[in-house]
A and B are shown apart, each in its own frame.
Chain A
Amino acid sequence: MISDAQIRALAVFFYFAFQDERLAELATVRSVVAIKSRAITNTEDPIDLQAAIVATTFKVWNEYKKKIRSTQSSVSQSGGWILPHNVDLGPWRQFRKEAPDEEFLLMIWSQISKFSDEAISRGLGLTIGTVRHRVGRGLKRLGAAIV
């Protein structure tokens, strides 16, 4: 069984990863079905659960990133996502355009989805140091885009 919180985490990840509501919905559905069929969420360890979600989303991202039609965002206020009030997605779009995939994906998992560095490293098969290094670089790049 997959909880609503986990479904929300998947939806938010793909929203910021694709910046395309249609593609984000498709990827979210694909991830939900994959997690349900593999019974990934049966684990009781939260680290393992986060690692499983990281692995699944990374796999689905690789499947659907080829369908990204343009770098322009395609989001609206009438979609299924509700952004905080007065949040500008400009810096994020700038950051997404300039950063490599592994950098902004790690930023989403680490800074937006609030997954632990250990879970991210376990889900992607990387060392914790590598994860923190890339997150640091991502913060620098995003910070420069904000300024």
Chain B
Amino acid sequence: MSEKDFEPLKPLPRQLSKFLAEEMLYDAISQNLDPSREAALQEFLQTSPETVAIQNQMSSARDYCAQLSETQVSEPFLARLSQMKSPYQRVVDTLAWSKWPDTLRWTIEALVVAGLASIVVIFLWPYISQYAPTRSQEVVLVEVDKPQVSASEPKEEEAAVVANESEAPAISISANTELKEPVVKSELPKAPVAPETAPVEPPPPPPKPEPVPPPVTVVAEEKPAPRESGQKPARKGELYRAVMTLDNIDIVTEQITTMLVGFGAEKAGDVKLGWRKPSGSYYHFSLPDQNYDAVLAQLQSFGPVRISKEPHWRVMPEGKIRFILDVKDAAATEANQE
């Protein structure tokens, strides 16, 4: 057989089922079908009124939806919707740092800086302080010279000038110390109150009515000589107080001063021996204790002497006693009594 005997088969006309036709209805009304399918569907529709009814319903539904699609939104409602923010966004906008008042921001910044500085100081100061320069906690009260002293000087001289700890800052002075000036005039315990008035220079001494006893050479003895006056020598931490009332105060002041100096007396207070005051003269001196009796006898030659001994915190060196003699002017005393 030749090729002319065979003729190509002609395609059979497509026949749609109802199911397929209904499935293609949406494509048909939305114009998405190819021409062959469109033709097949149209041919089917001519034989199926039910499918045509369905197609009409679908067209009506499309028209109905087209009307619904013209629904509008009012402008106020649209504006309100467009300004809506999420809760997170609202919180962020509220807490936005740039929107806070300037005063509040500066206050918070200052508090944060102060807090950080406090934390640094509290936790890091122990490490920082060890590199900081430190000051000596010693306080220099007075500068003193320390002369060379022999080993024989007793240690008791250390207590010769010792400040009262309860009244003044403690000042310890070693045995080799020699004070230039009184350490702290206002702090050291004072002798009986010295008059505030300026000392009056005594007038030139008149002719002496009584002979001046010759100066007595003080003989240093290891042990003091026994005393006949009945008064025991001043022990450490004791003070002799004597009061006399004499006439011619100017004359006797000079005489008593000369006598005391002759017996080795040295001023122990702030004022000179025989410091004059309106009511008399004042003596504050240290005296070798072996001369005590001789001095007492000499004083008694001037007039009655009232002498007493009292304990005192100030300790004198061995062999020395401390004396305060108050010579009152008899004339001034009588005037005051009147």
Contacts and interface: CB of A to CB of B under 8 A. Distances in A.
Interface of A: 2, 4, 7-8, 11-12, 15-16, 25, 28-29, 32-34, 36-37, 79-84, 87, 91-92, 107, 111-114, 132-133, 135-136, 138-140, 142-144, 146-147
Interface stretch (B21-29, B149-157, B210-218): B21-29
B120 interface: no
Contact of A142 (B64, B74, B88): B64
B27 A32 contact: no
A81 B73 contact: yes
A143 B81 contact: no
Given A37-B89, A80-B76, A147-B57, A136 B26 contact: yes
Given A32-B84, A140-B58, A111 B69 contact: yes
B63 to A, nearest CB: 9
Contacts of A112: 65, 68-69, 71
Contact of B26 (A12, A135, A142, A146): A135
Nearest to A114: B69
Interface string B81-105: 1101110110000000000000000
Nearest to A4: B78
Contacts of B67: 84, 87
B73 A8 contact: yes
A143 B22 CA distance: 14
A133 B23 contact: yes
B62 interface: yes
B70 interface: yes
B179 interface: no
Contact of B62 (A8, A15, A111, A132): A111
12 contacts: A7-B73, A80-B77, A81-B71, A81-B72, A81-B73, A82-B74, A83-B71, A111-B65, A114-B69, A139-B57, A140-B22, A143-B61
Contact of A80 (B54, B64, B73): B73
B66 interface: yes
Contacts of A84: 67-68, 70-71
B78 A8 contact: yes
Which of B54, B68, B82, B85 has the most CB atoms of chain A within a 10 A radius of its CB? B68
Given A83-B71, A112-B71, A142-B65, 5 more contacts: A12-B69, A33-B85, A92-B68, A140-B22, A143-B56
